Structure 1
Amino acid sequence: MRWTLKPKPELSKIKHLAESLKVEDAIAMLLLQRGIETYEAAKQFFRPSLNDLHDPFLMKDMDKAVARIEHAIARGENILVFGDYDVDGTTSVALMSSYLRTRIDTVATYIPDRYEEGYGVSIKGIDFAHDNDFSLIIALDCGIKAIDKVAYAKEKGIDFIICDHHRPGAQLPDAVAILDPKRDDCYYPYDELCGCGVGFKLVQALASNDGKSIEDLTAYLDLVATAIGADIVPITGENRTLAYFGLQVINEQPRAGIKAIINQTKKIEMTITDVVFIVAPRINAAGRMKHGNYAVTLLTEEDENLAQTYAAQIEQFNSDRKEADQQITQEALLQIEEFKEQERLTSVVYHETWHKGVIGIVASRLIETYYRPTLVFTKSGDRLAASARSVSGFDVYNALEACSQHIEQFGGHKYAAGLTLRSENYEAFKQAFEDEVSNTIDRALLTPEIRVDMTIDFNDISPKFYRILKQFAPFGPGNMAPIFMTENLQDTGYGKCVGGDDKHLRLTAKQGHSQQIVGIGFNLGDKCDFITNKKPFKAVYSIDENHWQGNVSLQLKLRDIKP
């Protein structure tokens, strides 16, 4: 692990902000590192308001989208809500279809089959729309590159509205409206919305046109917060406001489907991390193992008993998903070792029988062992399909673009993408990808980095300090949970390896004559020797609470330790 200490803001700025907010210097420093420099900005950060959300009509084509949908509602047209099979796509479809059904009955949903149709807008979906007299398709979390598909729909008399957040290509589809804050000609103030976030802005615009306020739409925010967490978009600006209020809905009055998922766990209060690791994988499991329709059905169901039944089905899909991804990860690691590819700067693996629904998870798992840009391929019809994942700081989308002569189709983000190619191009692509990464990556990026906010002493850690830290949530990219470093630590003699195979580390540390604090380090069991016999060590960690038998105490969530 590389430990990188973030630059310290100017001392005068720290002092000024600390005085104006009446907080400790450490809190002021954390705020400044997040670009919060004034009392007003801090107030907005700590006390988000739905009034902070931008006017949806600032988004390019929003007026056209609203006009076309209002026209469809007035004429009683059949509207098809189309979305991708992942969390962002299925929550988007659930949100848009739920809202439209409050205005018109002739609304249906369509999620493409991951295996038969693949990602995004499909010919099969357009044919379904044509055969069933749908004259308008609203595509969510996909469509920005569907130039041929949208043209095909137009030939059949079907209009398209696209709500996407992926990077557009050089040409845009010939749709009635394209809502995508990443369009070069779109000057919307915030361009990091997820697909469900773009869908919510369209709902916000439609609702305002119908005389409703933002407060009338809060019931939809549990879906938006789930998508924000699952799609790993920055939790800054508008996303942070949407996630903040969405988590309130999840904890106080979630829709029946999300409540049914949470009821299967023992969680009392959900954080955005819980959404990412508990709710999102289960919603995703439907599209991975069976069909994304199961997720939309769960998320739109209003009867709690039925929702429990659907959630139990999805729980089984999730168990199957776990089993598949563990097995494939082991096979992929063996493939890397067997072909002696440890010295490469990329991991590119393939087996024709690997389950297409879990190859993205497997790519992420491989990065845990070999920290480098990774692609996992499987057979999909007469093509090979892959999921790509990257390391922090390296844009895998750009790397794929540089290898596009070997690829049939690709799309995605900086850190996650998908692609298809012909099997005869696999070896040439594999070498081209290795060459591109070798020529462009900073070698330092191949060592995992922990970005440390600041150095503090144990005496700085107090219940009051932690109460303010908790108000920095929800955490995520752009606003990660603060990481601290403390030096000259000693274990009090109770440190030991815990868990199966002694994988984890538990210790009770002190710094000189400071208070003693318990620390738990997951997957740090191999560093037990660093703390034995009261040897001095340093640690990087976040701070959280330990709840045990009715008692609450602060503890360190250790990220790494060094002698």
Structure 2
Amino acid sequence: MRWTIKAKPEQRQIEELAHALKVDRLVAELLLQRGITNYKEAKKFFRPQLSDLHDPFLMKDMDIAVARIEQAIQNNENILVFGDYDVDGTTAVALMSSYLLSFYPNVATYIPDRYEEGYGVSYKGIDFAEDNGFSLIIALDCGVKAIDKVAYAKEKHVDFIICDHHRPGKDLPNAVAVLDPKREDCQYPYDELCGCGVGFKLIQALGSHRGETIDDLIYYLDLVATAIGADIVPITGENRTLAFYGLKVINQQPRIGFKAIIDQVKKESLTITDVVFIIAPRINAAGRMKHGQHAVNLLTETDMDQARIFAAEIEKFNTDRRGLDQEITQEALVQIAENKEQERFTSVVYKETWHKGVIGIVASRLTETYYRPTLVFTKSGDKLAASARSVKGFDVYNALESCSDCIEQFGGHKYAAGLTLLEEQFEAFKSQFEKVVKETIEPQLLTPEITVDTKITLQDITPKLMRILKQFAPFGPGNMAPVFMSENLIDTGYAKGVGQDGAHLKVQVIQGNSQKIGGIGFNLGDKLSLVTGRKPFDAVFSIDENEWQGNISLQLKLKDIK
């Protein structure tokens, strides 16, 4: 791995901020690296306020969207809340439908079938709306590129309001309103909201017309925080505030559906990382293995007994998903090895029987192994469908755009995308994608990078520092948990491999005359020889609390050693 140490702020700035906040210079340095330069900004960072949220009407088309929904309610129209089958989509549908249903009965939900309909707005969904008398569709986490489908709906006298956060194409669909902070002509101050976040801004705007304040909508923030974590959007600005309060809701008064999941896994006090690794995969598993509607049913359920039944069902989907994803990952690794493709700049694998619901996870796993832009294809109807994942610093969406003559349809973000193409285009696409990546990727991006905030000594690691670091949470892109580097550590003779086949590394280290401190390095078991025999080594780590038999001690969570 490449270790990159962030540039140190000017000493004068560190001293001034440390003095203003009455904190150690180390804390001041970490804050400056996050763009926090004065007391006011620090207060906003450590104590986010719901009053910091932006006025939803600053978003382009928000007033039109609100007027159209109010018109629908006045005219007793049927409203269909439509969303994608992933966590962002299903939480957004749960949020919007449960909010509207709290005061208006003619509302139903629709999640497209991952296998029959694929991603985003579908013709089948529009036909369903027409057949069942829905005259307004609110589409969440999708729709900004659905030009033909929105036109098709218009012919059937079905209106669309789109709440999306993906990059629009050069033309927008002819919807009543397109809410998307990434629109070129949208002046909204924060453009990193997730789909559920855009949905929340819409209910905030609707609520303001009904005399509600933000305090009346806090109940919905558990859904927003879950979508923020799962969709890997930056946890900065407005997202940080939404995630901060959403986590409070999850931990203090979660909706019945979340409580049913949390009770199953017997976890207390969830962090955003727990939400990403415990709640999100279970919600996602419904759409991957069966149907995303199962997730919406769980998230909108108000009866605990019924929620427990739904949660048990979803737990089974998640277990099945896990088995499948391990099996397909192994097959894909064998395919790369057999085709002697280890030296390529990309990984592109295909098998027609692979389960479409887990190819995104498999793409992530392959990226961890080979660390290069990766595509996993499977058969989907008469076409091939793929999930794409990228490496830090490389825009896979742009790379796919350069191959668009081989692609039927694609969409997504810088680091994750989806596409479909005809089977006969596969080989041409594969070689073109390899060529584009080879010509545009900077070679160092093919080596995983660890970004280190600053060098510290073991003496710096105190319970007081830990208390302050905990207040830097919630962590995520744009505000990652601080990562430190220490030099010339020596293991006290305790080092050993632990876990299955000694996959993980456990150490107890000192530095000079420092106190001993324990450390754990997941998947670093192969580095055991670097630390035995009192050989000095350097380490990159975050600081963690280790709870053992009721005692809490600080430990190093090792990321790499040299």
User: Normalising by structure 2, what TM-score?
Assistant: 1.00
For 1:545, the equivalent position in structure 2 comes to 545
Matches for 1:138-537 after TM superposition, within 5 Å: 138-537=138-537
- Could you say what secondary structure the match of 1:378 adopts? strand
1:345 partner amino acid: F
1:461 partner amino acid: I
- Could you say what secondary structure the match of 1:264 adopts? helix
**Aligned equivalents of 1:20 and 1:461: distance in 2?**
22
**Aligned equivalents of 1:3 and 1:52: distance in 2?**
36
CA contact 1:407–1:420 (8 Å) conserved in 2: yes
- Could you say what secondary structure the match of 1:533 adopts? coil
**Aligned equivalents of 1:262 and 1:415: distance in 2?**
29
For 1:50, the equivalent position in structure 2 comes to 50
1:32 partner amino acid: L
**Aligned equivalents of 1:555 and 1:303: distance in 2?**
41
**Aligned equivalents of 2:534 and 2:483: distance in 1?**
24
For 1:93, the equivalent position in structure 2 comes to 93
Quote the offset at 1:534 in angstroms. Answer: 0.5
1:250 partner amino acid: I
**Aligned equivalents of 2:304 and 2:241: distance in 1?**
28
Matches for 1:12-161 after TM superposition, within 5 Å: 12-161=12-161
2:157 partner amino acid: G
Quote the offset at 1:76 in angstroms. Answer: 1.1
**Aligned equivalents of 2:304 and 2:42: distance in 1?**
40
Q: Deviations for 1:342-391, whole angstroms, at most 9, x for unmatched residues?
A: 01000000000000000000000001110000000000000000000000
Q: Which runs of 4+ in 1 moved over 4 A?
A: none
**Aligned equivalents of 2:135 and 2:244: distance in 1?**
37
1:29 partner amino acid: E
**Aligned equivalents of 1:475 and 1:205: distance in 2?**
28
1:463 partner amino acid: P
**Aligned equivalents of 2:65 and 2:516: distance in 1?**
59
Quote the offset at 1:445 in angstroms. Answer: 0.3
Quote the offset at 1:530 in angstroms. Answer: 0.6
Quote the offset at 1:75 in angstroms. Answer: 1.3
**Aligned equivalents of 2:310 and 2:103: distance in 1?**
26
For 1:8, the equivalent position in structure 2 comes to 8
- Could you say what secondary structure the match of 1:534 adopts? coil
Structure 1 residues without counterparts, runs of 5 or longer? none
Q: Deviations for 1:74-113, whole angstroms, at most 9, x for unmatched residues?
A: 1111000000000000000000000000121000000000
Q: Deviations for 1:191-246, whole angstroms, at most 9, x for unmatched residues?
A: 00000000000000000110000000000000000000000000000000000000
Q: How many residues align?
A: 562
**Aligned equivalents of 2:131 and 2:425: distance in 1?**
37
Quote the offset at 1:266 in angstroms. Answer: 2.5
1:200 partner amino acid: F
Q: Deviations for 1:98-156, whole angstroms, at most 9, x for unmatched residues?
A: 00001210000000000000000000000000000000000000000000000000000
**Aligned equivalents of 1:421 and 1:550: distance in 2?**
55
**Aligned equivalents of 1:145 and 1:520: distance in 2?**
46
**Aligned equivalents of 1:561 and 1:53: distance in 2?**
41
Q: Deviations for 1:405-435, whole angstroms, at most 9, x for unmatched residues?
A: 0000000000000000000000000000000
Q: Deviations for 1:490-536, whole angstroms, at most 9, x for unmatched residues?
A: 00001100011110000000001101100000000000001111000
**Aligned equivalents of 2:307 and 2:147: distance in 1?**
37
1:486 partner amino acid: S
2:44 partner amino acid: Q
**Aligned equivalents of 2:82 and 2:235: distance in 1?**
26
Quote the offset at 1:548 in angstroms. Answer: 1.0
Q: Deviations for 1:247-290, whole angstroms, at most 9, x for unmatched residues?
A: 00000000000111111113111000000000000000000000
**Aligned equivalents of 1:9 and 1:545: distance in 2?**
28
2:4 partner amino acid: T
CA contact 1:73–1:103 (8 Å) conserved in 2: no
- Could you say what secondary structure the match of 2:533 adopts? helix
CA contact 1:406–1:421 (8 Å) conserved in 2: yes
**Aligned equivalents of 1:86 and 1:109: distance in 2?**
15
- Could you say what secondary structure the match of 1:185 adopts? coil
**Aligned equivalents of 2:259 and 2:375: distance in 1?**
35
- Could you say what secondary structure the match of 1:267 adopts? coil
Q: Deviations for 1:466-490, whole angstroms, at most 9, x for unmatched residues?
A: 1000000000000000000000100
